[in-house]
Structure 1
Amino acid sequence: MSKISTKINFGNFFEDFEIGQKIVHPLPRTISDGDVSFYIALTGSRFSLNSSDILAQEMGYTKKPLDDLLMFHLTFGKSVQDISLNAIANLGYAEVSFPNPVFVGDTVRLETEIIGLKENSNGKSGVVYVHSIGYNQDENEVLNLKRWVMVHKRNKGEMSGINIVPTFAKTQAIKEEINIPVLKDINTDVTGGNYFFEDYEAGERLNHAEGITIDDSDHTLATKLYQNNAKVHFDDFMMKSTPMGQRLMYGGHVISIARSISFNGLQNAQWIYSINSGAHANPTYAGDTIYAYTEVVETIEHKREDLGLLRLRTVALKNHRPETFDTTFDENGKYKKEVVLDLDYTVVIPKKQK
């Protein structure tokens, strides 16, 4: 009889994490033009700054920077092997910032600290809270994020009673220095949008017109692109035996789809300054059609005269158009079944040229 090897990594379970534990994740990733093109193919992203070297150079860059969400996924994906290989679901994000741009040819890596642990009362799982920081090849910080994920327990039914839950800021403080070149002579024929910072007001709601149906091939390839090897996204045989009955779509892909849909109405909001909070309210599966609407929560002045910031709330819906959708919560205060994403984030947008 063959000797069973102990070299296989089966991932960490809830009991394997400790408060203050630090993890340097493997697999640094050098970003290529192929990654950028494939991301567009999978999400339909249309923001012009991330599409055109010429436009990027006109805005003061040497070449086009990566879409902030593509960089997020490629960097975040490093943590899955150590944090969420045995996840039930990724639950939410907070305090996500994008301090420096990333370009094709850069190499990104990720480090994580465990900042919270909460055992679920069912004894089968727990929630792991992490703080992850991404760096480029020059050790410049390119991503800073906190998230929480529900993870299976190895020893189901054994209770430790741990309940350490961190608190999170509702919004990210706006820094005096924003790492964006001085913006001038914005060509709206090229960006595709005529609206600038001054054209938006708090309380405004944009019902985005387009919907995107996501196939199994779309979300599977996207998750592979990010080297996110969580079982719930790949192992159809395993997932058929769960209450879901099928693979769960990576929530980050839903964020990217919602962001792509939001282009219509927010064409000049080309930079994500921060993700203040995000909730994956309900699961998304292959065949679902995603629609979205965005509410302008706040308009934020900045000391720079060329730009301002908009705090936005984008809500993604499955199989329901936004113009016929009124409120995200039901009479019990829970998210309605159509809501798959509730994202509070801040974008940078140019002001009108003087």
Structure 2
Amino acid sequence: MTQHTPKSFAGNYFEDFYIGMVLNHATPLTVSSGDIALYRALTGSRHALYSAQTFATDNGFERLAIDPLLAFHVVFGKTVPDISLNAVANLGYADGRFPKAVYPGDTLRAVSEVIGVRENSNGKTGVVYVRTRGFNQNDQEVLSYVRWVMVNKRDAASPAPETVIPDLPKAVDPKTLENLPTYTDWDDTLAGSEYRYEDYAIGEKINHVDGMTVEEAEHQIATRLYQNTAKVHFDGHNQKQSRFGKRLIYGGVVISIARALSFNGLANAAEMLAINGGTHTGPLFAGDTVYAWSEVLDKAELSDTVGALRLRLVAVKDQDPGGFALRGEDGKYASGVCLDFDYWAAIPRRR
């Protein structure tokens, strides 16, 4: 009788991870101008720096570049089969950097290292911390970030590993940022805003007003574009038995839509320089409408022509964002908040 050996990979479980474990992820992906167009179709992004080649080259880019968030999603997608195929939830991000621009024709690959593990008190799941780096075809690092994810255990009886929680910065120091822009010929009219670095104040909150309803087909296309094979996003049949009873929209879709909505009020803050932190605070499903607001947390002068705004981007669903509600009286995230995302964005200064 012929015996069949399994050749498919069912993903890693919590007990498979260990400190120092290095994961070289499949599959390299060559990004193209077609990816730019599809990303724009999925998010509605309007930032001129990533929409018009003429605007991009006038302000220091070789040509029209890939939006840093698109590069982030491509690299993130590579990591899913090895890190989060058996995840319960993606919990957060920190220390994200974009040291080199990505252009159409570049081929991206991803490598991750496990830097922390902690079993949860229920004994059924644990949290895994990884630092992921994305490289281009010349082995140049184009982005890096830390994320932590809650992963199911294969066997609840497996012994708990020694807890290691990495020491992560609360925010990226803007003085350490690489690949800083110059913005030598910034045109406010073409960019869509008259407001520059000097016009924003720490503590200021901005209602981005517009909303975007996410359809089932859109988030399916997005996860496939990023080759993100997580069951919670891909497999509608299995999700009928999940805690949600339906497919969950990939949190990166929420980040990108909220970021695209931020154009209305932050059109000149087009280039994401770093990710300080981020949390997916609540689920989003097809049919939900995303709205967003931002708070200016800090400012930094990078050069005579460029400054940086540290921005908290908050996404809410099916409600007016104008109340700027982040947390309730109990200290927990307010109802309907689905994203709390902290990042540095470059913005031109007045000269």
* Shorter-chain TM-score range: over 0.9
Check the 8 A contact 1:118/1:163 in 2, yes or no.
Answer: yes
Greater shift, 229-238 or 55-64, is seen at: 55-64
Check the 8 A contact 1:85/1:230 in 2, yes or no.
Answer: yes
Instruction: Report the alpha carbon displacement of residue 5 of structure 1 after superposing the two structures with TM.
Output: 2.7
Q: How does 1:227-242 map to 2 (within 5 A)?
A: 227-242=227-242
Check the 8 A contact 2:15/2:158 in 1, yes or no.
Answer: no
Which residue of the partner structure matches residue 340 of structure 2?
Answer: 342
User: CA separation of 1:182/1:331 partners in 2, compared to 1, >3 Å: closer, same or farther?
Assistant: closer
2:167 is the alignment partner of 1:200: no
Q: How does 1:202-351 map to 2 (within 5 A)?
A: 202-302=202-302, 304-323=303-322, 325-351=323-349
Distance 2:225 2:308 in 1: 31
Gaps of 5+ in 2: none
Check the 8 A contact 2:125/2:152 in 1, yes or no.
Answer: yes
Amino acid at match of 2:269: A
TM-score, normalised relative to structure 1: 0.96
Distance 1:211 1:165 in 2: 37
Which residue of the partner structure matches residue 191 of structure 1?
Answer: 191
The size of the alignment, in residue pairs, is 351
Which residue of the partner structure matches residue 125 of structure 1?
Answer: 125
Distance 2:166 2:320 in 1: 36
Check the 8 A contact 1:53/1:64 in 2, yes or no.
Answer: yes
SS of residue paired to 1:254: helix
Moved over 4 A (4+): none
Gaps of 5+ in 1: none
Instruction: Report the alpha carbon displacement of residue 187 of structure 1 after superposing the two structures with TM.
Output: 1.3
Amino acid at match of 1:244: F
Distance 2:160 2:341 in 1: 33
SS of residue paired to 2:266: coil
SS of residue paired to 2:174: coil
Check the 8 A contact 1:57/1:63 in 2, yes or no.
Answer: yes
Q: How does 1:62-211 map to 2 (within 5 A)?
A: 62-160=62-160, 162-175=162-175, 178-211=178-211
User: CA separation of 1:97/1:125 partners in 2, compared to 1, >3 Å: closer, same or farther?
Assistant: same
Using the aligned pairs only, state the percent identity.
47
Instruction: Report the alpha carbon displacement of residue 349 of structure 1 after superposing the two structures with TM.
Output: 0.4
TM-score, normalised relative to structure 2: 0.97
Q: CA RMSD in A?
A: 1.4
Distance 2:152 2:41 in 1: 33
Check the 8 A contact 1:281/1:341 in 2, yes or no.
Answer: yes
Check the 8 A contact 1:118/1:164 in 2, yes or no.
Answer: yes
Instruction: Report the alpha carbon displacement of residue 26 of structure 1 after superposing the two structures with TM.
Output: 1.4
User: CA separation of 1:177/1:236 partners in 2, compared to 1, >3 Å: closer, same or farther?
Assistant: closer
Check the 8 A contact 1:289/1:318 in 2, yes or no.
Answer: yes
User: CA separation of 1:215/1:200 partners in 2, compared to 1, >3 Å: closer, same or farther?
Assistant: same
